Structure 1
Amino acid sequence: MPRRPVVDSGRLARWCAEQLGSPPADELFRSGHLSVVVGLRLADGREVVVKIRPDAPRIAACVDIQRRMFQAGYPCPRPLTGAVPFGGELATAEAYVPGGAMLPGTDDPAASFAEALAWLIRLAPRPGEVPALDPAPSWNHGGDELWPRSEEDPDADLNQRPGASWIDEVGRRARDRLRVGGSDVMIGHGDWLAGNLRWNEDSLLVVHDWDSMIVESEDVLVGFAAALYSTGGGADERATVEETERFLDAYGRARGRKLDADELQRAWAAGLWTLAYDAKYQHTVGQPVTVLTERQAGERLRRAGLRTTPPRRRPSS
């Protein structure tokens, strides 16, 4: 399993004094699994969040995008530092944005989540305007194997774990569909889970987890989000097929143009790929597979324009 960074309180105090101009006075919270996220009240009264995680070149680009989005008026925490070394790890600081509900107070939450994503993609810089965001686990990771190596959990090799062959099959077929077609790439949020957004009634209060910026075609970005968000109330729940359908319809309205037939199929394939990836990770680390069932996968394959069962191979003569 990956090593969670060990955060020494003395080092953290010195880092805050050097980078933020004030040492911590109180710790508000501490969370994280593969990274450490610490909420602090500084001696000068400011409330900040410091995130310490393994060093990765793409983090600097993610902070750059977050800063540009904040300046453009998108609801995200204001970055207070760049990506700064913290021992052998990397740390960033941002303003603390407390409060908010996990779901918007509206009768059509799918539309709220879709509109928030359309707004983000519209405001985001073009890929050529920021440093590279590689590597980010995705269907087109460039390797010969089906599954990319997890950026946050490099010890979990999804390609070497036997069993659950149906997950590999749907992941492979979704990937093959994504290799056909596609539009120009854009910057978007690759982890559009409900737990990463907070709402003030029907208004978007804040979007978190800006380490998850990725470069993909619009239909893939939308497909990922439509499969990951959920209105069920759990921070890590995934969308039902019906929720995904509502999100895709709402996204078309939000951008002012419906997704055409090819975009819709690719969006369904992208959503299926990311669910299969998460399911394969759960299987690999010995957890129950809860994010995708074979029945759900079959329906998503159908909506991606793919056979629900692969054609039989004829025996060679």
Structure 2
Amino acid sequence: MSSRADAVDPARIAQWCREHLGSPPVDEIFRSGNLSAVIGLRLADGREVVLKVRPDSPRIAACVEVQHRLFQAGYPCPQPLATAAFGQDIATAETYVPGGTPLPSGDAARAFAEAFARLIELAPRPDEMSTLDPPPSWAAWNHTGDGLWPRSEENPDLNLNRVAGPAWIDEAGRRARDRLRAGESEAVIGHCDWLAGNLRWNGDTLLVVHDWDSMTADSEAVLVGFAAALYSTVNVDDLATVEETDRFLDAYRHAHGRELSADELERSWAAGVWTRAYDARYQHAVGQPITSLCESEAHERLCRAGTGSPRR
């Protein structure tokens, strides 16, 4: 259990639920979380809800609004119930959607890509929302701060630009960022953390998508590239191989009903390199094994992005 989740006071939870949901909790179903404390609760009136507590940010309201609109449009996401201050933090409540499996029973590339294409299609336009900035750090390839790497949400006191690390990771991130900056297209809203652990399935039918704090506005090519690089066909601890990313991009084109241009495809590959290089850089900086990207895979993905390979 994360220290953030463990530190949330049950008495404050009860007070918040009474004030904003009209009923106190009588049982705790689960407690987990990384950037947020995520707590499943059974209320006295019989409802089961999920309470999320995290530092307040202007983008939270926009994320909740996107989730609300997608729920109204019939997309499989939990129904938002309340948003209000929680001490110095912000808390949101949504319906609890249990069950399902982390992977579809059939063609995972097609299922994940079709679910992502439908989300992009149903999401509101960026100009209809209040700010979704700044994006989560693993999606902030075009941040305005100093250095290659943005401020880490996972560890705000850690400056990735000041931690010596494998040169190939920095070079991969730099080449990917430069390729992304070389092209531009209209922004759309999408989910930038399309990990298998954030989706649940009934067979090949999508049951629910979680982690709606990971909404951001970027070009379609970039958002699709993130998703294609992060999903899994094996288990929640693995990320897509080069071949699996290629299958996702092909399935997305069919689901979306149009071909991605050569430039868009290259930018999709570059976006996948950037987000996985960021994660690899963070893993190295905190002393974890580097599992999000290896040098040979960075080489192959950068070639597909039209930017060559990192220097060895």
C-alpha change, 1:306 and 1:144, in structure 2 (3 Å) is: same
CA distance in 2, matches of 1:37, 1:219: 31
8 Å contact kept, 1:3–1:34: no
Counterpart residue number, 2:129: 130
Deviation at 1:3, TM superposition (A): 6.8
- For residues 309 and 120 of structure 1, the distance between their equivalents in structure 2, rounded to whole angstroms, comes to 33
Could you tell me which amino acid in structure 2 is paired with residue 118 of structure 1?
A: A
Correspondences of 1:1-317 after superposition (within 5 Å): 4=4, 6-82=7-83, 84-106=84-106, 108-136=107-135, 137=137, 138-233=140-235, 235-310=236-311
Deviations 1:154-184 (A, max 9, x none): 1221111102111000000000000111210
Unaligned runs of 5+ in 1: 312-317
- Total equivalences in the alignment: 307
> What amino acid maps onto 1:176 in structure 2?
D
Equivalent-residue separation in structure 2 for 1:302 and 1:86 (angstroms): 47
Q: What per-residue deviation string (whole Å, max 9, x for no partner) do you get for residues 254-313 of structure 1?
A: 0111222111100000000000000001011111101110000000011111122559xx
Check the 8 A contact 1:171/1:276 in 2, yes or no. Answer: yes
SS of 1:25 mapped into structure 2: strand
| TM superposition outliers: structure 1 runs of 4+ over 3 Å | none
Structure 2: which amino acid aligns with 1:169?
Answer: E
Structure 1 residues 180 and 159: alpha-carbon distance in aligned structure 2, compared to 1, 3 A threshold: same
Looking at structure 1, the residues matched to 237 and 129 of structure 2 have their Cα atoms a distance apart, in angstroms, of: 29
| Equivalent residues of 2:188, 2:220 under 8 A apart | yes
Would you say the 8 A contact 2:172–2:309 is kept in 1?
no
Using a 3 Å threshold, how does the CA distance of structure 1 residues 135 and 8 change in structure 2: closer, same or farther?
same
The percentage of counterpart residues that share the same residue type is 67
Does structure 2 conserve the Cα–Cα contact (< 8 Å) formed by 1:135 and 1:151?
A: no
Alignment partner of 2:80: what SS? coil
Which letter maps to 1:198? R
TM-score by length of 1: 0.94
Post-superposition Cα deviations, 1:88-145, rounded to whole Å, max 9, x if no partner, equal 1111000000000111111x11011000000000000000101101111210112231
Q: Which has the larger radius of gyration?
A: 1
Distance 1:140 1:175 in 2: 7
Structure 2 CA distance for aligned equivalents of residues 170 and 176 of structure 1: 10
Distance 1:62 1:34 in 2: 15
Whole-Å Cα distance in 2 between the matches of residues 309 and 149 of structure 1? 23
Code of the aligned partner of 1:282: Q
RMSD, aligned CA = 1.4
Output the amino acid matched with 2:198: N
Cα distance in 1 for partners of 2:75, 2:251 equals: 20
For the residue of structure 2 that corresponds to 1:81, the secondary structure is strand
Is this contact kept in 1: 2:40–2:51, CA < 8 A? yes
Report the TM-score when normalising by structure 2: 0.96
Deviations 1:49-98 (A, max 9, x none): 0011111111111001100110011000000012x111111110000000
Assess if the C-alpha contact under 8 Å between 2:168 and 2:311 holds in 1: no
Which range moves more in the overlay, 9-18 or 255-264? 255-264
**CA displacement at 1:152 relative to structure 2:** 3.8
